[in-house]
Amino acid sequence: MCILTSFMSTPFEILRSMNSHPSFLLYKDVFFPVPHRTSVEDMALSTTFLTLQAALPCVVILLSLGILIHRRWLFNHSQRPPGPTSLPLIGNLLQIPSNSPEHVFRNWFAVYGDVVFFRIFHQPTVLLNTFEAAQDLLEKRGAIYSDRPRFVLFSELMGWQNASTHVPYGPRFRKHRRFIHQTFNQQAAQFLKPIQEKETLTLIKGLMTTPEHFSRHLRRFAAATILKVTYGAEVTSVDDLYIQLAERAGTLTVQSGTPAATLVDFFPFMRHIPTWAPLAGFKRNAAVVKEAVDRMMNVPYEMVKREMESGKASPCLTSRLLERYRHSPAMSLSFEDEEDIKGVAGTMFSAAEDTTISVSTTFILAMVLHPRVFKKAQEEMEGLIGRDSLPSTEDRPSLPYFECVLKEVLRWNPPVPLGLPHRVMEDDVYRGYHIQKGTTVLANIYSILKSCPHPDLFYPERYLEQNDLVDPFEVVFGFGRRRCPGRHFADTGLWLSLATVVATMDISKSIDDQGRDVVPEVAFKSGFVRHPKPFTCTIIPRSGSIERIIESCVSQVND
Ligand code: HEM
């Protein structure tokens, strides 16, 4: 036993144990029984044995070296994954459109298969096009696939360096995840449900009052739930200060991502260009963005601190994290701790808002275009809770068709089509392909979810008819150790708000001046988060009693 385990040790340890361990002698006698011999034979044998013994260390060392060299050779000679031909210097830059690259990547999947290699300038990138490949690398080999690429523009120039989405894998990443986990893990997220229930009622009231502004109401819902959880702030309108701060920071960030600006990610020396120099426009823009990002991170954080000092703070993620430092004599709040708390809270807000809005707006678009599906979901709902009550999360297991509708919404328009880039921290070989340390790895969420029969058709029944389809809930939140930590909160909030819309409202196409149906276009805006293009629709309460039901629920919540 000892000998077997020692084969996993160094060559020297192997030799030591072979020479000395009694079990080795026993082992030798059993497998190489020696008949009775003369002393001359004994001497010859023992000389041979001694020679063998002396040679053994060299053999073992040479063998180990051979194995190492062979592995290195295999790595160097294993092929890169297949991919489109690239040009010198710029790589595949010209083949990747800045608008909706997910479409081109889907074609590459069809041509080159599961794992595709391409380069942008000198940066190697690998695209994982199937659920299996994404799981194999990002999940099962998470120990080396969980870093993020270096974002020079975003992190070093625009001030997003404290965002949890951008922190490199390591102790700081673990600290951020710990902070987030306390409030957003599956069990803790249950305690956030009352906030989502209350904001759902406000959403329905908004839809009843000004249905034409449905996208503003959905935005307000998304922002209000997460702002209450992170900063304890009450949001009444999308014009509230914190939402404005976040939108300014987000809009400026996206607007400043011009080609000249992104070049700095590939040629980091460019960040040293002085701001007055002719090519330094990106640095001047980045300074403006940084000011907006700093305000977005600082203003709500400072407000919570002030409220805590005056004893008026409502419990929230930020106050809970600060309390831990206040009450522990072993922990004093350092500058880095404050930056991390601000970073976590600011990221949760910005990561939650846009993604939630994308899903809820896609749901409305799908329901306008597919009245049959909407009616079927309403009938299922009515069969369970009738017309005079609102759904609660306890009803979820009894509404299987609605569950399929939600899955289909996520599949039809995956909110974050290419996830967030991961970076591999060590050389690796996968399916005989060589993946070099430092490669950017993208999970092609879009292609994974479009790999099914009639991918562009909105057809929730596919999840009832076919049980080998990938569950979109397992895909849209990313993979491995960087998987979205807000997924339980997002899932509950979306289910509650959209199930309540189904139970209370009728959704249909809007009517133009000539009395004709206006059929919205199935079109999505290009971006890191994929939103439907603006459209119109008609939303009206299902019955005269809805207003009364909502008012009675609101007064129960306020009591
Ligand atoms: C339907 C809604 C959402 C979708 C589709 C979504 C999707 C994603 C994806 C694809 C990633 C990247 C995962 C990876 O790197 O593999 C991510 C990361 C992240 N999400 Fe979400 N998300 C959603 C909602 C939320 C919400 C509500 C929150 C906060 C409450 C949140 C907070 C975060 C954070 C902090 C990260 C960064 C994790 C890290 O880098 O370690 N997300 N999300």
| Test site for ligand 1: of 174, 484, 492, most ligand atoms within 8 A of the Cβ | 484
Distance 30 CA to ligand 1 centre (A): 61
pLDDT at 335: 93
Contacts of residue 201, defined as CB under 8 A and 6 or more positions apart, other chains included, come to 550, 553, 554, 557
Of residues 389, 328, 374, 352, the one with CA closest to residue 189: 352
Distance 478 CA to ligand 1 centre (A): 8
Tell me the sheet residues that pair with 540: 506
Determine which of 6-20, 166-180, 304-318, 480-494 has the lowest per-residue pLDDT on average. 6-20
pLDDT exceeding 70 applies to what percent of the chain?
A: 88
Q: What is the DSSP string of 57-72?
A: HHHHHHHHHHHHHHHH
pLDDT tens for residues 48-67?
A: 565 666 677 777 788 878 87
Query: Nearest residue CA, atom 43 of ligand 1?
Result: 484
pLDDT at 31: 31
Mean pLDDT of the 87-113 span? 93
Cβ atoms within 10 Å, residue 69: 10
Rounded to an integer, what distance in angstroms lies between the CA atom of residue 149 and that of residue 147? Answer: 7
Query: Nearest residue CA, atom 6 of ligand 1?
Result: 477
Looking at every residue in the chain, the average pLDDT score rounds to 87
Quick check: 343 pLDDT over 80? yes
Rounded to an integer, what distance in angstroms lies between the CA atom of residue 365 and that of residue 534? Answer: 10
For the chain, the straight-line distance linking the first and the last C-alpha, in angstroms and rounded, comes to 69
Determine which of 3-7, 256-260, 478-482 has the lowest per-residue pLDDT on average. 3-7
Closest atom of ligand 1 to 177 CA is: 41
3-state secondary structure 102-164: HHHHHHHHHHHCCEEEEEECCEEEEEECCHHHHHHHHHCCCCCCCECCCCHHHHHHCCCCCCC
Cβ atoms within 10 Å, residue 439: 23
Distance 122 CA to ligand 1 centre (A): 28
Residues carrying CATH 1.10.630.10, the chain? 93-558
Distance 483 CA to ligand 1 centre (A): 7
pLDDT at 24: 27
Rounded to an integer, what distance in angstroms lies between the CA atom of residue 301 and that of residue 468? Answer: 46
Distance 475 CA to ligand 1 centre (A): 11
Structure-token match 């459209």, residue found? 535
Rounded to an integer, what distance in angstroms lies between the CA atom of residue 369 and that of residue 416? Answer: 22
Query: Nearest residue CA, atom 19 of ligand 1?
Result: 484
Rounded to an integer, what distance in angstroms lies between the CA atom of residue 488 and that of residue 181? Answer: 11
Query: Nearest residue CA, atom 27 of ligand 1?
Result: 352
Distance 359 CA to ligand 1 centre (A): 13
pLDDT tens for residues 430-471?
A: 999 999 999 999 999 999 999 999 999 999 999 999 999 999
Quick check: 484 pLDDT over 90? yes
CB-based burial label for 158 (10 Å; 0-12, 13-18, 19+): buried
* Protein residues whose CB sits closer than 6 Å to any atom of ligand 1: 164-165, 184, 226, 347-348, 351-352, 355-356, 359, 415-416, 419-420, 476-479, 482-486, 489-490
203 contacts 498 by C-beta, under 8 angstroms: no
| CA-atom Rg of the chain in angstroms | 30
Closest atom of ligand 1 to 414 CA is: 5
| Test site for ligand 1: of 477, 528, 531, most ligand atoms within 8 A of the Cβ | 477
Query: Nearest residue CA, atom 11 of ligand 1?
Result: 484
Closest atom of ligand 1 to 146 CA is: 15
Query: Nearest residue CA, atom 9 of ligand 1?
Result: 477
Question: What type of residue sits at position 381?
Answer: M
SS3 443: strand
pLDDT at 21: 32
Quick check: 301 pLDDT over 60? yes
358 contacts 377 by C-beta, under 8 angstroms: no
484 is in an annotated binding site: yes
Q: Look up the pTM and report it.
A: 0.85
pLDDT tens for residues 213-250?
A: 999 999 999 999 999 999 999 998 889 999 999 889 88
Comparing 181 with 32, the larger pLDDT belongs to 181
Of residues 118, 129, 375, 154, the one with CA closest to residue 254: 154
Closest atom of ligand 1 to 148 CA is: 40
119 HSE (CA, 13 A, CB side):
15
Closest atom of ligand 1 to 347 CA is: 35
Distance 419 CA to ligand 1 centre (A): 9
Rounded to an integer, what distance in angstroms lies between the CA atom of residue 344 and that of residue 174? Answer: 12
How wide is the angle at C-alpha 220 spanned by C-alphas 216 and 226, nearest 5°?
A: 150
Tell me the sheet residues that pair with 128: 115, 443
Rounded to an integer, what distance in angstroms lies between the CA atom of residue 426 and that of residue 236? Answer: 48
Which CATH code for domain 93-558? 1.10.630.10
Closest atom of ligand 1 to 173 CA is: 41
Distance 420 CA to ligand 1 centre (A): 9
Distance 70 CA to ligand 1 centre (A): 41
Distance 100 CA to ligand 1 centre (A): 20
Query: Nearest residue CA, atom 16 of ligand 1?
Result: 478
Query: Nearest residue CA, atom 8 of ligand 1?
Result: 477
Distance 84 CA to ligand 1 centre (A): 30
Comparing 318 with 559, the larger pLDDT belongs to 318
Closest atom of ligand 1 to 479 CA is: 16
Distance 164 CA to ligand 1 centre (A): 10
pLDDT at 29: 30
Closest atom of ligand 1 to 490 CA is: 27
Rounded to an integer, what distance in angstroms lies between the CA atom of residue 219 and that of residue 214? Answer: 9
358 contacts 529 by C-beta, under 8 angstroms: yes
Q: If you average pLDDT over each of 64-73, 319-328, 376-385, which comes out highest?
A: 376-385
Rounded to an integer, what distance in angstroms lies between the CA atom of residue 286 and that of residue 424? Answer: 28
| Test site for ligand 1: of 355, 491, 497, most ligand atoms within 8 A of the Cβ | 355
Closest atom of ligand 1 to 478 CA is: 16
165 HSE (CA, 13 A, CB side):
20
